[in-house]
Chains A and B, each alone.
Chain A
Amino acid sequence: MSGPDDTAALDAYLAEVGRRLSDPDRGEVLDELRDHALSHAESLVAAGVADREAVAVAVRDLGPVDRLAGRLRAELLRPYLRRLSAALLLTGLACAATWTAVLLAGPAEPWDERTEPALVALLDVSGRWSAESALGLAATSVLTLLLTGRMRCSPRNRWTSQVLAITAASASLVLGIATGLQLLVYLAIRAHVSAASLAWPLVITTALLTLGAAPLVLHPLRGALRLSSGAAS
């Protein structure tokens, strides 16, 4: 069956949808919508409707651009959010385990209760709090997305869960970075007081592993941010 010749209305509609998506998968989404609209228009033409009117009806039946793009964006965002949450949880656990091993494997801390710098005492408390909170928030995000990824979850609950997961993952990311910075300051103080108090080969290996794990978080984060910037445009 030959398609309608005048598809200007469809092209304009798809351009608007594409402008609101900004996602690597956008091309596939637009191809699918184009096929849908053209299939619809072809069925109308076969029933005797004129080309231009058939395309107009097919475009109208896709629904308002904002509604279509908004719902698609929410569904496209979800896999990125799930990967980001899982990456935050897994890399967070791995970093916590390996850096704890670094600290335990080195010689004893170069201070005792009486000589411990006040900043180290503060970092000890705040570092633990931020690390545990970051892991807890990442786990919350993963669980929220898992529990609301099933059938029968209402759109409102899916939307609420997505907002909760975005908030938890963002807070987890910020706290994870804060934990890393606190660890750096702690290591700098400890090495300054006694350079021999750290197992340096282990420190360097663990630092390289930490940097190597960063893309696991950065890749889904970039995708999520791209979709969010599409929402703002």
Chain B
Amino acid sequence: MRREALKGHLDGLLLATLESGPAHGFAVMAELKRRTGGAVDLEGGTLYPALRRLEESGLISGTWSSGPGRRRREYELTDRGHRALSEERGSWRSFVATIEAALEPHAPAPASGTAG
């Protein structure tokens, strides 16, 4: 998927990935890739600045734990993050419904001003 197509949606995608529970950066990336059938495959240069931004905004919180022989930072949604995700879902569904309605093939409107 082209990077431009993700613009404006990356934060929502990351929040949705963390909704099921705490995860570290690579797990977030792998889960997002799995959910999208490989279409969204983030590189570190996109993922970690975005996680920093979400943490700074108070939507996720990060804590250090010990991983397999090394330190590991895990992220989880905050209450604000849950609310933001819910709003994001609502606005996305509304957007999709609007666009779908416009894209659906429609029967031509009856011509106005019939002779009589």
The interface of chain A, by Cβ under 8 A from chain B, is 1, 3, 28-29, 31-40, 42-43, 61-64, 67-68, 71-72, 74-76, 78-79, 149-152, 154-155, 158
User: Which chain B residue has the least Cβ–Cβ distance from A82?
Assistant: B56
User: Which chain B residue has the least Cβ–Cβ distance from A155?
Assistant: B7
Interface of A, secondary structure class, is helix
B7 surroundings in chain A (CB, below 8 A): 154-155
Within 8 A of A (CB), among B7-51: 7-8, 11-12, 24-27, 29-30, 43-46, 48-49
Q: Of A43, A75, A79, A149, which contacts B30 at CB under 8 A?
A: A43
11 further A-B contacts with Cβ under 8 Å, apart from A31-B73, A39-B26, A151-B88, are A3-B70, A28-B64, A34-B70, A36-B24, A36-B48, A38-B70, A61-B44, A63-B43, A151-B57, A151-B84, A154-B8
A1 surroundings in chain B (CB, below 8 A): 68
Contact status A35-B71, CB under 8 Å: yes
Contact status A151-B59, CB under 8 Å: yes
A35-B24, A36-B25 known; A68+B44 contact, CB < 8 A: yes
Give complex CA distance A33, B72 in Å.
Answer: 9
Contact status B25-A32, CB under 8 Å: yes
Give complex CA distance A78, B50 in Å.
Answer: 13
Give complex CA distance A79, B58 in Å.
Answer: 12
B69 surroundings in chain A (CB, below 8 A): 3
